[in-house]
């Protein structure tokens, strides 16, 4: 069965985030603030439809999509670019391609136990993040 990404996930690790942000042209002051935060992901999945919220004290970001349907993404509050974005599911991996000004841009999510993995790519940089599931009260 395909994985269910739904839930609340807290960041536990973040590798190469600074160089990823540099590849997106984020200024030094913003990068230094962004490195200090540990965002939370809130994912709502129902069938092929997803909402992913990335929440932090610095910025919030929300993206909504249906698998296999390209859409216009505006990375407002992040690097403020427009992309043609397509997300597909391949062997339990949620794979996003963000076509636009930046080459080789996208991200991948997958689940391993209680961990939600995220690889963010731009140009020649890959940032590797891990989030851990927040258990709901019963
Ligand atoms: O996630 O696209 O889950 O959208 C990447 C930040 C930092 C703002 C975050 C705020 C890229 C300043 C979005 C971080 C750097 C730096 C919390 C990752 C840009 C600006 C919002 C992302 C996907 C996959 C869903």
> What does the pLDDT profile of the chain (138 residues) look like in tens digits?
789 999 999 999 999 999 999 999 999 999 999 999 999 999 999 999 999 999 999 999 999 999 999 999 999 999 999 999 999 999 999 999 999 999 999 999 999 999 999 999 999 999 999 999 999 888
Task: Choose which residue among 27, 78, 121, 126 to substitute to test ligand 1 binding: the one with the highest number of ligand atoms within 8 A of its C-beta.
Answer: 78
**pTM for the full predicted model:** 0.97
- Ligand 1 atom showing the smallest separation from residue 63 Cα: 4
- 46-63 pLDDT, tens digit each: 999 999 999 999 999 999
- Ligand 1 atom showing the smallest separation from residue 60 Cα: 21
In residues, how long is the chain? 138
User: What residue's CA is closest to ligand 1, atom 6?
Assistant: 78
β-strand pairing of 125-133 with 71-74: unpaired
Distance 29 CA to ligand 1 centre (A): 16
ipTM for this prediction? 0.97
């Amino acid at each position: 069965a395909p994985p269910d990404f739904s839930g609340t996930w807290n960041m536990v690790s973040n590798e190469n985030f600074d160089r990823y942000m540099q590849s997106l042209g984020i200024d030094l002051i913003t990068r230094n603030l962004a490195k200090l935060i540990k965002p939370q992901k809130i994912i709502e999945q129902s069938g092929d439809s997803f909402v992913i919220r990335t929440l932090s004290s610095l910025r919030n970001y929300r993206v909504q999509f249906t698998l296999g349907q390209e859409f216009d993404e505006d990375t407002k509050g992040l690097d403020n670019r427009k992309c043609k974005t397509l997300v597909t599911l391949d062997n339990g991996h949620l794979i996003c391609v963000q076509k636009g000004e930046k080459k080789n841009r996208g991200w991948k999510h997958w689940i391993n136990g209680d961990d939600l993995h995220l690889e963010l790519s731009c140009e020649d940089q890959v940032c590797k993040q891990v989030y851990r599931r927040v258990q709901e009260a019963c």
